[in-house]
């Protein structure tokens, strides 16, 4: 992996910076900076801007509408994006199901779904976890029964992030109880407008609605919406989880959080010295930054492996573990740096139209909900305890 950038790559970095300076809408940048709620319309607008530039899918092969960049350019693009207050694209289509479709899908599925994922015309969500099947995903019980050229789906999915704004859901369902649990799972693409789907929101500790309960009652799904073979869905799910856990590393967002932490800790208050002048606190920030730098280089290693055509394996669990832990570490330090300004938390103040004055600095309001929702980072995407088991078994061979 060579990070000695060429003249062309350095010029590319400046092109990305110039594009963001000119094309990132001011109101979106202000929302991201303030931590204000980002609506679906906001996400679609930013998605379309990147799509029209041809930069919406840096990690996709060029033949399917991706950028066709080498590992260095992908790294540069990701780094420059964190320099600006850009909304984070919803990952379920671009980073998760999109690669599954172009890797395992039929030509008809590629033609039907990939263009609309790229354009942002269709948003996706993930139907994996169930009330009794979280980290033990293979125990899922949502059933799909064959009925001619359709499946009839019944069951419940939980923690379905973005289901309330999604047009489609990629879903793991049980089509057989024979053999090992993993051998009876099938991967379906389901239209969220299908009769029999009921989405009920779950309000999380940060006061927002990220996740949902999703109920399926006699939902008819065309067989043509099945990815690959029946009962082989676990294979495609593992492939997808590798991409999800790589994304959960969140190196870019954590860099942005670290910059904000340093800004908060460097602010003087009531004539007192800035908190960053305290050697003990500065040392804790340095520890978080060292961990983030190590995570970044581990991520680059995986990026180079993928660029060389080698599949992301169980090693991706290392990214998930460290990425979620570092996110929690940085948000915890941020709350400490804010002190009593972090205590008064009113979720509605992060919604548009809130007219009450902020308590403390303008940037304080968004930090507590970020801290609270970050507590879930070590659980979603497969709990860190399960990830350590995967590493022990699949990587270390213990």
Three-class SS state of 150: strand
Residue 320 near residue 248, CB atoms below 8 Å:
yes
The residues, any chain, with a CB within 8 Å of residue 21's CB and separated by 6 or more, are 84
Task: Respond yes or no: is residue 88 known to be catalytic.
Answer: no
Rounded to an integer, what distance in angstroms lies between the CA atom of residue 178 and that of residue 199? 30
Distance (Å) of CA 353 to CA 37, 87, 378: 11, 20, 33
Distance (Å) of CA 319 to CA 248, 291, 324, 328, 331: 7, 12, 8, 14, 18
Rounded to an integer, what distance in angstroms lies between the CA atom of residue 398 and that of residue 390? 10
Cα 376 off chain centre by: 13
Token code pair at residue 355: 């007219």
Handedness of CA 158, 160, 165, 166 (dihedral sign): negative
Please, is 110 exposed, middle or buried when counting C-beta atoms within 10 Å of its C-beta (0-12, 13-18, 19+)? middle
Catalytic residue among 30, 63, 229, 244: 244
Q: Which sequence positions are flagged as catalytic?
A: 244
């Amino acid at each position: 992996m060579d990070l000695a950038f060429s003249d062309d790559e350095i010029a590319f970095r400046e092109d990305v910076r110039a594009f963001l300076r000119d094309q990132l809408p001011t109101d979106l940048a202000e929302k991201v900076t303030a931590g204000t709620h980002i609506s679906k319309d906001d996400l679609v607008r930013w998605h379309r801007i990147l799509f029209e530039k041809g930069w919406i899918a840096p990690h996709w092969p060029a033949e399917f509408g991706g950028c066709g960049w080498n590992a260095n350019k992908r790294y540069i693009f990701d780094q420059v994006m964190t320099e600006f207050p850009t909304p984070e694209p919803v990952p379920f289509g671009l980073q998760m199901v999109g690669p599954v479709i172009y890797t395992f899908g039929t030509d008809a599925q590629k033609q039907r779904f990939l263009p609309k994922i790229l354009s942002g015309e269709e948003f996706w969500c993930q139907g994996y976890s169930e009330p009794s099947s979280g980290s033990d995903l293979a125990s899922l019980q949502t059933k799909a029964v064959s009925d001619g050229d359709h499946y009839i789906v019944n069951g419940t999915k939980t923690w379905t992030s973005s289901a309330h704004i999604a047009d489609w859901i990629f879903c793991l369902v049980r089509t057989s109880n024979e053999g090992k649990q993993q051998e009876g799972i099938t991967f379906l693409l389901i239209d969220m407008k299908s009769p029999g789907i009921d989405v009920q929101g779950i309000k999380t500790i940060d006061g927002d609605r990220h996740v949902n309960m999703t109920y399926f009652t006699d939902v008819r799904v065309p067989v043509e919406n099945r990815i690959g073979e029946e009962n082989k869905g676990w294979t495609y799910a593992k492939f997808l989880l590798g991409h999800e856990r790589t994304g959960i590393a969140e190196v870019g967002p954590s860099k942005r959080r670290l910059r904000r932490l340093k800004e908060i800790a460097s602010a003087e208050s009531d004539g007192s010295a800035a908190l960053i002048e305290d050697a003990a606190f500065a040392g804790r920030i340095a520890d978080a930054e060292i961990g983030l730098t190590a995570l970044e280089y581990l991520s680059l290693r995986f990026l180079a492996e993928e660029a060389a055509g080698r599949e992301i394996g169980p090693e991706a669990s290392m990214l998930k573990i460290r990425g979620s832990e570092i996110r929690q570490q940085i948000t915890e330090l941020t709350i400490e740096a804010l002190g009593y300004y972090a205590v008064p938390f009113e979720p509605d103040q992060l919604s548009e139209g809130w007219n009450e004055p902020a308590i403390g600095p303008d940037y304080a309001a968004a930090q507590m909900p970020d801290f609270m929702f970050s507590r879930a980072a070590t659980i979603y995407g497969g709990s860190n305890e399960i990830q350590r088991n995967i590493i022990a078994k699949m990587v270390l061979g213990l």
